[in-house]
Structure 1
Amino acid sequence: MSRSQSAHPSTRRRAGRPPRQRHARADHARPSRKSASQRSNRWSHQVMETSDAMDIEGGIFKSGSAEEIAQSLKRSSTRSRRRKGTPFQSAMSMLNFYVNRAGRNLPQTRRNVLQQAKRKLREAFGRGSR
């Protein structure tokens, strides 16, 4: 085959590489996944307990007031020795972690309260609002 009649790009050899495989081989089948009951559904709890996440008050995200959540996170972040960033970074990170972990299971009313808590947290630390 001449250069003008090049082979299909997936089968053409370049720089000594073997041609691309078109299909997965049977002996390299994907390993079976664990069922939901076998998986640990509490990995986020382990992250909160063992990482350098700051220590927070229990049940704070369940309180009804955005102001209360923001003030508690500010208190916790300034007192905690288990944080790497600034108190503001740690508090905002913890709030985002909770919102992201809740995902679609978080009702819209609760999500609105937590978004308001982010604004209150920025105000509490003297940061400009977005």
Structure 2
Amino acid sequence: MPEAKTRRAAAKAKREGKAPSTQAGEFVREEIEHVREGKHGARSAEQAIAIGLSKARRAGVKVPAKKSSRKSTGKRTASKKSSSAAGHRKKVTQKSSAKRSRASTKALKRESSTSATRKSLASHARKAASKRTAANRSAAAKKAVRTKGAHARSAAAKKAARTRARS
């Protein structure tokens, strides 16, 4: 269950008109913190991010599924049609047993916490960015500027100036 602080921050981002990925970023940040604190581990930065995104989806953030996992067969779509024709059924979720919950917590604790280091997160970000086109990255930056606000834009400009001065 995400912390109340995380849910509030995501709700604030939604009110400000930020993208779903930005809203989900709060949940990912919380997950990274959990890995760093040793509450549980993750094998890679990507896994920690995936856990955070999963929490965001469960909390109602409209984050699209990963493109590669959207492959659907003809059988699936047919079964979806028949189930929707039968009317909306309420999904029944059972609470996980204590034994199962304990086992999954123990398994996660055995994982390392190095996946949440600045180095591993930075390398993951570089790898993810390299898969995107320059136009796509540029469009994302332009949208960020539109939704940032004057104060945050000023802070970002100062940070960019410091970065340029260093190199």
Structure possessing the higher radius of gyration over alpha carbons: 1
TM bracket, shorter-chain basis: under 0.3
> Could you say which structure has the higher helix fraction?
2
Q: What TM-score do the two structures reach when normalised by structure 2?
A: 0.23
